[in-house]
Structure 1
Amino acid sequence: MNNHIYTIGREFGSGGKDVGVALAKRLGVKCYDKELLAEAAKESGFCAEIFENHDEKPTNSFLYSLVMDTYSFGGYSSAPFLDMPLNHKVFLAQFDAIKKIAEKEPCVIVGRFADYALADNENCLNIFIHADLDYRIARVSKNLDLTANKAKDAIVKADKQRASYYNYYTSKKWGDSKSYHLTLDSSRIGIEGCVDLILTYREHMNKMKK
């Protein structure tokens, strides 16, 4: 089976992006992260900077079900879409891009509510990467050249932002094990260990389908 999609949610500093990249490398497929923003920008006609500025940021008011009733994917010139606030357009354009990418090729998609967008895709495996706070502080301090206190502040802010965005736009809870097929602690088993377990889990899923 070569049409598998892997979505990876992650705590800030847990190495979730690194897991996605390593997994994609093992599988010989693409890993979409910031690249997804460029894809969404290209399809929708918005400039890439708009997507970067609204990337995984929550909004204050958005009636998702109402919008989905009036918006058809690809309908960027329709009146309902044109009348939406900019952040709503960004969300829907990314939603559309995720679904199109998944239809086109097997891949790994990091963040951006991909598990929710692909809820009806039977070949989609949803993973969440978390880690001990001290481990994350050490990683963020090193990667961003921050003090431990500033790294902790950055982690708290990023996690709160991701949770608010995910919880607001989806019907699930960010980081809740029930929202994913598999949750892994990267501080216990490392990046490659996470990849090993993801592939083992997929292998068992394939056996169950036979």
Structure 2
Amino acid sequence: MTKTNTIITIGREFGSGGHEIGAHLAEKLEIPLYDKEMLDRASKDSGIAEEILKAHDEKPTSSFLYSLVMDTYSLGYKTGSYSDMPINHKIFLAQFEAIKKIADEGPCILIGRCADYALENYSNVLSVFIHADTTKRAKRISRMYDMTESKAREMILRTDKKRGSYYNYYTNKKWSAVQSYDVCLDSGKLGIDGCVETIIEIIKVKERMKKAVL
């Protein structure tokens, strides 16, 4: 397809291959991919140390981290309205604003971090959620991290719980629910390449419909 005008946000269950799907899409569509890179942008724009952003990355609020960070760092925000805001809210706002700035630069792929919520008022966004059967995800994680499938299942449960709690806390939607996204795909059934091909076809339809309306 010709170069897209669409911004793709990808939410994902841990071990479902969401990042890999995003990377393949970025290559095929010739647009940038932002995953951990969003933290670097948020740090540069906000003045919050990147290690603080990483400590809170897609995790629900933690009173322990809040106390630790507040005792150790000066956040560097220059806007007075942020001064009394809890640390986890400052961090979310920094990422929220970074996501919007990235989207304003043009078509891209954004992985996780409530990007679909941050860009819900953008007409050129396609929000995707990637999921898969736990058994298939456990096999994938056990290969990637050289661990038993039992340990992989534990890792999956912990990570999904954190991602879900983070998403549900900061948005008005429910993580992994079909109503929260434009498209939900099962990578266990479609495979990585099948998900990539499907998303590209959906983008073609979306952009063709938009042209028809115009």
Give the TM-score normalised by the residue count of structure 1: 0.90
Matches for 1:1-210 after TM superposition, within 5 Å: 2-59=4-61, 76-209=77-210, 210=212
SS in 2 for 1:57: coil
Which digits, 9 at most, give the CA deviation of each residue in 1:93-144, with x for residues without a partner?
Answer: 0000000000012100000000000000000000000001111000111111
Gaps of 5+ in 2: 64-75
Deviating above 6 A after TM superposition, structure 1's stretches of 4 or more consecutive aligned residues are none
Give 2:177's aligned amino acid: D
**Contact 2:6-2:203 within 8 A present in 1 as well:** no
Deviation of 1:193 after TM superposition, in Å, equals 0.7
Offset of residue 60 of structure 1: 6.7
CA deviation string 1:139-190 (max 9, x = no partner): 1111111111110000001001100000010000000111111110001111
C-alpha root-mean-square deviation of aligned residues, in Å? 1.5
Partner Cα separation in structure 1 for residue 5 and residue 208 of structure 2: 16
Q: Given residue 112 of structure 2, which amino acid in structure 1 is its aligned partner?
A: G
- 1:4-31 CA-to-partner distances (Å, cap 9, x unmatched) read 1000000000000101111111000111
Give me the whole-angstrom Cα distance separating, in 1, the residues matched to 2:205 and 2:192.
Answer: 20
Q: How far apart are the structure 2 equivalents of 1:79 and 1:194?
A: 45
Shift of 1:3: 2.9
Distance (Å, rounded) in 1 between the aligned partners of 2:10 and 2:135: 21
Q: Which runs of 5+ in 1 are unaligned?
A: 62-74
SS at match of 1:158: helix
> Structure 2 length as normaliser, TM-score?
0.89
State the match for 1:64 in structure 2: none
- Tell me the number of residue pairs that the alignment of Structure 1 and Structure 2 aligns: 197
Identical columns (%): 52
